[in-house]
Structures are given as C-alpha cells and as structure tokens.
Structure 1
Amino acid sequence: MPTTLRRCPVCAADQESGQARTLTVATDRLLVTWHLLHCPHYRADRVLMDRDG
C-alpha cells in the first residue's frame, strides 16, 4: 500500500521534527501526518480515536 507523509498544517511538523503521528487509511493509500505533541490536531485525532489527549 503506498504511503503519503504529510506535514501538519497547524504545527508544521514533518518526519524530521514531529514527535507524534496519526495514521489514516484511504481507499488506495496510507496517510501519515506528523505533529508536535502539543498540536491541537494531534489532540483532536486522539479524541476521535476515543483516547485522552
């Protein structure tokens, strides 16, 4: 399955600077988005996964 690495649009983390990542499975690829631990997108992803941020 092809993988696409994405930089977070809020904290601008990438695979070099990111401390955490979220994974999304699309129909034809795996999307990996990197975040800093304090990023609101990372916290929101954890809430959506039903885990505490």
Structure 2
Amino acid sequence: MKSYHYGISVDKVNNGPWAQTEFAYAEVYPTGFWLASYTSSIPGAVMVRWTVRGY
C-alpha cells in the first residue's frame, strides 16, 4: 500500500471456538495497515477474516 487509496474489510469468524470474538477493527496508514481484535474467553487467540482492496 503506497497511499490511502485502499480499504480493509474485517469480519469476525462466527463458528467454532473463534466465534467468541468481541470486536475487530483495522487502522489504515499510507504504507500499511494494522488489525486488532479481542476476546476475553480465549486471550491471545482471536481469529478474524480480512480483505484489502485498492492500490
């Protein structure tokens, strides 16, 4: 990613033990992005599905 001309879609996984994700979000920067997610039931082990589109 070389500009802000892209977006990120973040989806919580909704089945299995990962379905307990409480929140997930992304921050966009001109040279990359940062993803964050949280669950209290499985600390340190959260699964999200993410997609980046743009240029």
- Give the TM-score of the pair, scaled to structure 1: 0.29
Structure having greater relative contact order (Cα 8 Å, sep ≥ 6): 2
- Higher helix fraction (1 or 2): 1
- Higher strand fraction (1 or 2): 2
* Larger of the two Rg values belongs to structure: 2
